[in-house]
Amino acid sequence: MAITAEMVKQLREQTGAGMMDSKKALEQFGGDMAKAAAWLKEKGLAAAEKKASREAKEGMIEVYSHMGGRLAVMVEVNCETDFVARMSEFRELAHNLALQIASAAPTYVKKEDVPAEVIAAQTAKFKEDAIAEGKKPEIAERIAAGRMEKFYQDHVLMEQVFVKDDKVKVKDLIAAAIAKCGENIQVRRFVRYQLGEES
């Protein structure tokens, strides 16, 4: 199948990959857009992992206010250079992350931020609940592990499903931005205030 410029353009828009990478992916998969996109995403994630060790000290603090000033979010998103910090894609990512925090109210940025005592307490509670439901201890252990994954999805920003697209996790959204911008991008910290809510 002949790979057209329109196909390459479409794949680039869909994945944020470069022109040559998009063309190579389409050639490799005989013009199959879905397979080429999946391959590019996998490649982008691999690239994102390599970039994760690079220092990110530039960036921006995005401030979002919602519901007539009843809810506000501040999130610090870092990248490696001020050039990327000024890119529209980076600014859009920061805004989307602020929307995510406003909507889904995470408690932690990443799994590693969850204190060991919180993990131990939650795991014990989930195991006790499963035993109270009549499950055997070894089954209760597995149920507790599954419920911990759900806990992470509810409370950890990176593990949450993106509010604008339920097929994408926040960490995948950031990985795609890393692939697009070519730099390490990290969420450093955030704060979420809701009027009348205890801190």
Question: DSSP per residue over 153-184, as a string?
Answer: HHHBGGGSBPTT-TT-BHHHHHHHHHHHH-S-
CATH, range 115-154: 1.10.286
Return the domain boundaries, the chain. 5-51, 58-110+156-194, 115-154
Question: What is residue 197's predicted lDDT score, i.e. its pLDDT?
Answer: 79
Q: Which has more confidence, 13 or 78?
A: 78
Out of 9-18, 29-38, 112-121, 126-135, which region has the weakest mean confidence (pLDDT)? 9-18
Residues in a beta bridge with 75: 62, 190
pTM over 0.85: no
Write the pLDDT tens digit of every residue in 144-195: 989 999 999 999 999 999 999 998 999 999 988 888 888 889 999 999 999 8
Sorting pLDDT into bands at 50, 70 and 90, what band is 53? low
Return the H-helix or E-strand segment holding 151.
helix 137-155
Specify the pLDDT at position 104.
95
45-61 burial, b at 16+ Cβ within 10 Å, e below that, comes to eebbeebeeeebebbbe
User: What is the dotted CATH code of the domain comprising 58-110+156-194?
Assistant: 3.30.479.20
- The reported pLDDT for the residue numbered 135 is 87
Specify which residues 65 forms β-bridges with.
72
Structure tokens that stand for 115 in this block: 């204190």
Residue 45, pLDDT score: 54
CATH, domain range 5-51: 1.10.8.10
pLDDT tier for residue 10 given thresholds of 50, 70 and 90: confident
Residue 55 has pLDDT above 80, yes or no: no
CA 111 to chain centre: 12
* pLDDT tens digits, one per residue of 106-133: 999 999 999 999 999 999 999 999 888 8
pLDDT band for position 18 (cuts 50, 70, 90): low
pLDDT the model gives residue 73: 96
Question: Could you tell me the CA-to-CA distances from 172 to 120, 138, 177 in Å, in that order?
Answer: 27, 33, 9
